[in-house]
Amino acid sequence: MMETLWAGLSHLFMTVFLSSFSSFMVVPAITDVTMSAICPGQDECSLAIYLTGFQQVIIGLGTLVMMPLVGNLSDIYGRKALLTLPMLLGIIPLAILAYDRTTNFFYAYYVLRTLTAMICEGSIQCLSLAYVADNVAENRRALVFGLLSGIGSCAFVCGNLSARFLSTSSTFQVATAVAVLAMLYMRVFLPESFKPENVALRTKLINGEDIAENSCTKKQLFEGLPSLDDMISLLKTSSTFGQAASVAFFNNLGEIGLGASLMYYLKARFHFNKDQFADLMVIAGVAGIASQFLLMPIAVPFIGEEKLLSIGIFFSVAHMFLYSFAWSPWVPYAAAMFSILIVLSQPCLRSITSKQVGPTEQGRAQGCISGICSFANVISPLVFSPLTALFLSENAPFHFPGFSVMCVGFAYMIAFFQSIMIRPAPSVSSCQGSECSSVVVF
């Protein structure tokens, strides 16, 4: 049994690596593609910033609805079944830019990327975390979440290195091919992950048996979206869960704000292009790999997840302030090294969350946190995209190109103060009886 489950985790890691690789390798190129299609020959373009912000808002609204639904459905129908749809849909926008990147094709990509990302954005991460929680004992869960995050960092580095040495057209072609490979690999090799309780409920649902005692579950499954009351009751499961949700919101508010402003800021301030963006991301990725594979396994048992979460977010604050006051092109490269501690926050946050619910509610809990992050995805571009466009234009009220990046740092600061209020709480799930046989203990 243990060998089978470890094989499942290894196939999950490969699936996450291939999927993340295809996504990350196009990130350094997409700013140049957007600027070339909308504002050719310019280093500053407010329209491109607003379009990017609008896209993030729409995606955030979609994922706000979809993430809790995906998490709930995966608790019944399995993680693999729910992984198929986002991985399949994610191929389509990449294929468009692999074919051509002229203005008309860019707008076709823009529309389809917006629509598909409403389902795809965050789904793979949410389901992967739930898959790990299904198969790993909670006392080792933070380490395996860190390993999963490290796999993502490896894909981040490899994808950006590939983008650094490939032409723009080849970048999108390779990304499309790898996305197809990821989906096929997942369908062929990844074993399904079911809890015994969920298998029984799923069988009853499929066979149409009377499940009066689960009428609320059945109603939610076939009506679709979990109710607001269900979300609120989950947030009230424990004070720790509620605090973790608050940290997730403000932390993601900062992350999305950074994505909405940083590349346009660096392009306007220091004339960075695809190659410089790739260099920055490789530095951050290598630092993240070192942290997740070497530092985190040592630090978690001695320091604890709660303190590591606060440390990671504190360095996110410092990271943003250093970017905002960057006085030379080498400063962003130095700031990227802060990732060695920044990347600790997400695995710790997800591990803290997973310990506050039972073993049959992991998808629901991770979907709830992902939904809260999606709400931040809606708010963040509405705030930071106009700020970025204003302070990079000639109409700025005062000369401070990095002002929007500094405001991102304030969002992280709120998350930091929330994180230091989290205290270790007793976990809800426990390994007893027959459940112990379905959990990998390293």
* Mean model confidence pLDDT for the chain: 78
As to burial, measured by CB atoms within 10 angstroms (0-12 exposed, 13-18 middle, 19+ buried), residue 65 is middle
Q: Nearest Cα to 78, choosing from 163, 196, 183, 167?
A: 196
The rounded Cα 131 to chain-centroid distance in angstroms is 15
Rounded Cα–Cα distance for residues 424 and 422 (Å): 7
The residue-averaged pLDDT of 213-228 equals 48
Rounded Cα–Cα distance for residues 95 and 109 (Å): 9
pTM greater than the 0.85 cutoff: no
**In which band, very low, low, confident or very high, does the pLDDT at 3 lie, cut at 50, 70 and 90?**
low
The residue-averaged pLDDT of 55-63 equals 83
**In which band, very low, low, confident or very high, does the pLDDT at 218 lie, cut at 50, 70 and 90?**
very low
In the prediction, which pLDDT does 21 show?
93
In the prediction, which pLDDT does 438 show?
38
**In which band, very low, low, confident or very high, does the pLDDT at 360 lie, cut at 50, 70 and 90?**
low
In the prediction, which pLDDT does 224 show?
46
CB of 143 closer than 8 Å to CB of 297: yes
Residues 264-296: pLDDT tens digits? 788 888 888 777 877 887 888 788 777 777 777
**Pair of tokens at residue 12:** 């999950």
CB of 392 closer than 8 Å to CB of 221: no
The count of residues in the chain is 442
3-state SS track over 23-53: HHCCHHHHHHHHHHHHCCCCCCCHHHHHHHH
Q: What angle do CA 30, 32, 36 make, to 5 degrees?
A: 115
Residues 110-129: pLDDT tens digits? 999 999 988 888 788 888 88
**In which band, very low, low, confident or very high, does the pLDDT at 182 lie, cut at 50, 70 and 90?**
very high
In the prediction, which pLDDT does 122 show?
77
As to burial, measured by CB atoms within 10 angstroms (0-12 exposed, 13-18 middle, 19+ buried), residue 304 is middle
**In which band, very low, low, confident or very high, does the pLDDT at 377 lie, cut at 50, 70 and 90?**
confident
CB of 278 closer than 8 Å to CB of 163: yes
* pLDDT above 80: residue 190: yes
The gap between the terminal CA atoms of the chain, to the nearest Å, is 13
Residues 306-356: pLDDT tens digits? 888 888 889 888 888 888 888 888 888 888 888 888 888 888 888 787 777
- DSSP character for 140? G
* pLDDT above 80: residue 368: no
